[in-house]
A and B are shown apart, each in its own frame.
Chain A
Amino acid sequence: NAGVTQTPKFQVLKTGQSMTLQCAQDMNHEYMSWYRQDPGMGLRLIHYSVGAGITDQGEVPNGYNVSRSTTEDFPLRLLSAAPSQTSVYFCASSLREDYGYTFGSGTRLTVV
């Protein structure tokens, strides 16, 4: 039981490049979310999903796309990377509304 797996752990992008951050969970959790955490700050919700085929925007969705074709996977796509997207990205999953979230170990992204 691996929990929530995020890849890659580190990434450096040039401005304008695109990439996909991968997130997979093996706990059959319905809820999945993407957060970003900037230095010394809290977690801001980017996008979330309550099940396969269902996604919605969080607080800071601009510049990011998501899809949820399976229960297990919830990839986050950066369309055209900008320096403002330099951050640590966390994927999290939960069984349902009244359960806590299990977080992945994060992806540290630098955009130069």
Chain B
Amino acid sequence: GQQVMQIPQYQHVQEGEDFTTYCNSSTTLSNIQWYKQRPGGHPVFLIQLVKSGEVKKQKRLTFQFGEAKKNSSLHITATQTTDVGTYFCAWGGTNAGKSTFGDGTTLTVKP
């Protein structure tokens, strides 16, 4: 079956440092979505990537979808304390409506 690994599991950074989380799949993905969950909160949709090699930016966040559509990354430039939380990638399967989430990367930012 489809195997998607999200790494790292945890990342501790000093405020102002950059942060990257990766999702790597053993098979081609039709699309990938990214979500952020603040501590004690619920996941919030950030973005969806669909096209091979796609790059999208949201302020300090850069999202990439690999050329082979088997990997994706979320990069945060110059982290701030407001960036703390867990970042999840999610992907659809062969069944419509079935979205699976990665294990997440938990980011902590030291002021």
Contacts and interface: CB of A to CB of B under 8 A. Distances in A.
A43 B101 CA distance: 6
B44 A103 contact: yes
B96 A50 contact: yes
A106 B102 contact: no
A91 to B, nearest CB: 10
Given A33-B98, A49-B97, A50-B96, 7 more contacts: A33-B97, A56-B98, A99-B48, A101-B35, A101-B45, A101-B99, A103-B43
A41 B100 contact: no
Interface residues of B, number: 25
B43 A31 contact: no
Contacts of B85: none
A98 B45 contact: no
Interface string A8-27: 00000000000000000000
A102 interface: yes
Contact of A59 (B42, B88, B100, B104): B100
Given A97-B92, A106-B42, A50 B97 contact: yes
Interface of B: 31, 33, 35, 41-48, 50, 88, 90, 92, 95-104
A90 B42 contact: yes
Interface string A83-109: 000000010101001111111111000
Given A48-B98, A98-B31, A42 B88 contact: yes
Contacts of B100: 45, 59
A41 B101 CA distance: 11
Residue of B33, B42, B47 with most partner-chain A CB within 10 A: B42
B48 A31 contact: no
A59 B50 CA distance: 24
A99 B90 CA distance: 12
Nearest to A51: B97
A41 B98 contact: no
28 contacts: A33-B98, A35-B101, A41-B103, A42-B101, A42-B102, A42-B103, A43-B88, A45-B99, A45-B101, A48-B97, A48-B98, A50-B96, A56-B95, A56-B98, A90-B43, A94-B97, A94-B99, A97-B92, A99-B48, A100-B35, A100-B47, A100-B48, A101-B33, A101-B35, A101-B90, A104-B42, A105-B41, A106-B42
